[in-house]
A and B are shown apart, each in its own frame.
Chain A
Amino acid sequence: MAAYVIQRILWIGPLLFAVALITFILMHQVPGGPWDRSKRLPPEALENVNQAYGLDKPLWQQFGDYALGLAQGDLGVSFRSSNRPVSDVLGDGIRVSATLGLLALALSTTAGVALGTLAALRKDGPADYASVALATVGASVPSFILGMLMLVTFTAYLHWLPSGGWGSAKQAVMPVLALSAWPTAYIARVTRASVLDVLHREYVRTARAKGLHERAVVLRHILRNALIPVLTVLGPVAAMLVTGSFIIEQLFAIPGMGRAFVTAISARDYGVIMGTTLFYTLVIILANLLVDVLYAIVDPRVRYGAADATRVDV
């Protein structure tokens, strides 16, 4: 398995390069540039800034310069605020988004697995209907509406929680809840289906037959096997949560990656667009790798050889 993991890691470099190239080309194909704002710079000033940012060079040379910098770990500067290196923008944003995302991940995994298991064990009972109903609401109400509902209730009406910002525990409550709703519902649905699937397997019956305590049956035999499909969805969900949600960050004025990314796209901040895209790529690659490794740990039947690594699923 070590050989497999090393091979997967070696693939990261070429993958990032390919993503960088595609992003760079697409970004420059989109009409409008970083200086196309309501106040148009005078032509001389335009020449000056283009020179300062190297935009006067041919595109292939610009990409060459960027790739060269990238190889040395230099992500360049933001085109919007010249004294902020992209690594600063990313660093600040990641810390915030990752904290928010991990909190939401912890909450949604715990709540989702608990709800899903409960629903499956009490199939067709009131608990099942309640958790299915909750999951349906969580999956269908957009996080923007949910966030706004909470803002109106807890801030404007009850004055319990601050409207937004980042830094205190109180400020994290509403964004974490709003962000967790959809993944909780998703995880609950997958868990329920998966637990139902293993509930009547022979090994569960055997476990019960040999007189094991119900708790041991559920934890050791049912859940351990039922969680494999849940793990599969957890990788992308984790990547999604940790890299920041634009909508939640925008609504709650949180200085995270999601907001930085979308703001950069609409402002054509080439430096930040490249930096964030590459970072997202890296996170998704690593999350998938982690899930594949976890498979092997959870499911004894999964064995990786180096040959499997040619099937690179990112």
Chain B
Amino acid sequence: MPVSLPSWVRPSHLVVLLIAVLVAVACSGGDSDGGQVSNDLAADQEFRLRIAGDPSTFDPQLASYAEEISIAKQIFRGLFTYDADLNVIPSVAITVPTKDNGGITEDGLTYTINLRQDATWSDGVPLTAHNFVYAFQRLFDPEGGGQGYYFDFYTAIAGGEAFAYEDGSAEAVAVVALDDYTLEIELSRAQPTLPTLLALWPAAPLRGDLIDQYGDAWTEPGNLIGNGPFVLAEYAPEQRIVLESNPLYWGDDQPTLDTLIYKIIPEDSAALIAYENGELDMTAIPLADSSRYQGDSEQIRYAELETFALQYNHTQAPFDNPLVRQAFSRAIDREAYVSAIRSGVGQAAVGWLPPGMPAANPGVGIDLAFDADAAAGLLSQAGYTDGADFPDVTFTVLSDPTNDLTAQFIQEQLRQNLGINIDIESVEETVFFDRYFETDFQVTWLSWFADYADPENWLPQQFATDGAFNVLGYSNEDADALFEQAAVELDTTKRLALYDQAHRIIIADQAITPIFHPERNYLVKSHVAGLATTALDAEPGDWFTPSVQILETGSAPPASDPE
């Protein structure tokens, strides 16, 4: 029998451990900000942040990953945007249409939106309704936005789906300019969340003349003309992206910053050292370093709309049996998980909808929370008393140090509390997603992150029998009926109540087993003021970058102690 070493003795883990110790020793040397922070603005309004990878595009219709989305949000502004509480507020539009103000017809199918007449592009050209018409036609174009991830969110717009599926045409997309400053959008089915979708980056206006002129090169610095608070000034692939404030920005949220620099630093610990050396104003705290920075004056920590869960293949034994899934849920001590594996950063989860999401309810799933005795009882009901005769199960995870530790934790919990032994399989990212979307696994570990704050983005797509992201093969007629009603229910209270009911069904069935809600854990220099975070950030504070200010350091006036 081969002797297996404890996991932490593996070379890769040792290296991580060694580096954590080294960085800890080096960085414990006190304040790196170099002096007192005053209340005066610094002469140099430059905000430097770290991204881990190169954005593959600046095209707002193709931007799909955090760094791409975060940059697109600075360069473009759509009809609407969000306030600090994620309510939809006007941006290029004058008002948010409702039935009461006559902006939405009684059947909920036609939206009339009036635009500001003072909005311009960063090259001074006036921004009109025609720019939105062009952008929505391109959004569904198989050669434009139709190659991206997000156009699918907007297919309630009449003619959109047909164009994307290649038997429609651009002209048939039902977004029309009634005049230069009035836009009309017609839907083929009611979509109560349309205003919030129109506040997202894929719904930004675009310059058809420039895209025709430059082709694929339209997103290069100099060619890329946006209508947001910042413009793209420099792109050095794999090194940095520099944005500068847009002097022609027309919005009420005028930026204080002159320059926004995204430095590409792939290695987490190198980024932390860069931050400690004063080369960055903001960076994420690597998990291995989180206990060291807990309570640090430069730490910001806040909830995001994300849930990690055990996900089951419902089409095969043993996970086609709800009793087995329930037993798993009751066998896992989430509090212990968060403190042992996540250094206490995050919240234990028993429900799928994260706190802060409309219709989220902390009571959902409480009855299936950790309880080792109840877990053993459920497994025995399922016919596997004390884990006897339990089939071979492989737990498939995307290979990374945190996921590997997570898998070992879950494996140990199931062994202790249910008496079953599962195997762990750690798979490279590309292979993992290839297999995940083909449902080629028994049980796996993955999170879902909100694109927008509505349960519509979290329940029907994953759990409706014909949902676009129903990878698990879950099916429940009652839930399906609720999804159908909710999809077209225009009354918000009723709509959220329907989703709450569906959420309860899914958790009672343990379609997935939620384990925890992660949190953002960042370091921000004390000379950075006005960073306004939301649960829906791609990078911290990126909905409100114009409010960020850099304060003067070092030359603070002599301390006049208030005491």
Footprint of B on A, CB under 8 Å? 31-33, 36-42, 44-45, 47-49, 51-52, 80-84, 89, 92, 144-145, 148-149, 151-153, 155-157, 159, 162-166, 250-253, 255, 259-260, 263, 266-268
Given A44-B146, A48-B147, A259-B238: A36 touches B430 (CB 8 Å cut-off): yes
B310 interfacial by beta-carbon distance below 8 Å: no
Is B23 in contact with A156, judged by CB distance below 8 angstroms? yes
B316 interfacial by beta-carbon distance below 8 Å: no
Given A52-B143, A151-B270, A266-B428: A253 touches B263 (CB 8 Å cut-off): yes
Given A45-B148, A152-B273: A165 touches B430 (CB 8 Å cut-off): no
Is A162 in contact with B277, judged by CB distance below 8 angstroms? yes
Distance in angstroms from B56 CB to nearest chain A CB is 4
B84 interfacial by beta-carbon distance below 8 Å: no
Which residues of A have CB within 8 Å of B435? Answer: 31
User: Can you name the residue of chain A whose Cβ is closest to the Cβ of B272?
Assistant: A156
Distance in angstroms from B147 CB to nearest chain A CB is 5
Which residues of B have CB within 8 Å of A38? Answer: 433
Given A42-B152, A151-B270: A37 touches B433 (CB 8 Å cut-off): yes
Which residues of A have CB within 8 Å of B429? Answer: 37, 266
Is A33 in contact with B277, judged by CB distance below 8 angstroms? no
Is B270 in contact with A36, judged by CB distance below 8 angstroms? no
Residues of B207-235 whose CB lies within 8 A of A: 216-217, 219-220
Q: Name 26 interchain pairs, CB-CB below 8 A, sorted by A.
A: A31-B431, A31-B434, A32-B433, A37-B430, A39-B149, A40-B149, A41-B147, A41-B149, A44-B146, A45-B164, A51-B142, A82-B57, A144-B15, A145-B18, A148-B19, A156-B27, A157-B26, A163-B265, A163-B271, A250-B266, A253-B264, A255-B237, A255-B238, A255-B239, A263-B53, A266-B429
B22's contact among A80, A152, A252, by CB below 8 Å, is which?
A152
Which residues of A have CB within 8 Å of B147? Answer: 41, 45, 48-49, 52
B114 interfacial by beta-carbon distance below 8 Å: no
B270's contact among A83, A164, A268, by CB below 8 Å, is which?
A164
User: Can you name the residue of chain A whose Cβ is closest to the Cβ of B21?
Assistant: A152
User: Can you name the residue of chain A whose Cβ is closest to the Cβ of B215?
Assistant: A83
Distance in angstroms from B148 CB to nearest chain A CB is 6
Kindly supply a per-residue 1/0 record for chain B positions 416-458, scoring 1 wherever the CB is within 8 Å of any chain A CB and 0 otherwise: 0000000000001111011101000000000000000000000
B64's contact among A39, A162, A268, by CB below 8 Å, is which?
A39
Which residues of A have CB within 8 Å of B19? Answer: 148
Is A250 in contact with B267, judged by CB distance below 8 angstroms? yes
**CA distance in complex: A151, B269 (Å):** 10
**CA distance in complex: A144, B14 (Å):** 13
A163's contact among B240, B273, B431, by CB below 8 Å, is which?
B273
**CA distance in complex: A148, B22 (Å):** 8
Distance in angstroms from A273 CB to nearest chain B CB is 12
**CA distance in complex: A157, B143 (Å):** 51
**CA distance in complex: A149, B23 (Å):** 9
Which residues of B have CB within 8 Å of A268? Answer: 430
* Central interface residue in B64, B149, B238, B469, by most chain A CB within 10 Å: B238
User: Can you name the residue of chain B whose Cβ is closest to the Cβ of A256?
Assistant: B238
Which residues of A have CB within 8 Å of B216? Answer: 82-83
**CA distance in complex: A145, B149 (Å):** 39
Residues of B315-345 whose CB lies within 8 A of A: none
Is A148 in contact with B468, judged by CB distance below 8 angstroms? no
Which residues of A have CB within 8 Å of B264? Answer: 253, 255
**CA distance in complex: A155, B152 (Å):** 46
B43 interfacial by beta-carbon distance below 8 Å: no
Is B151 in contact with A45, judged by CB distance below 8 angstroms? yes
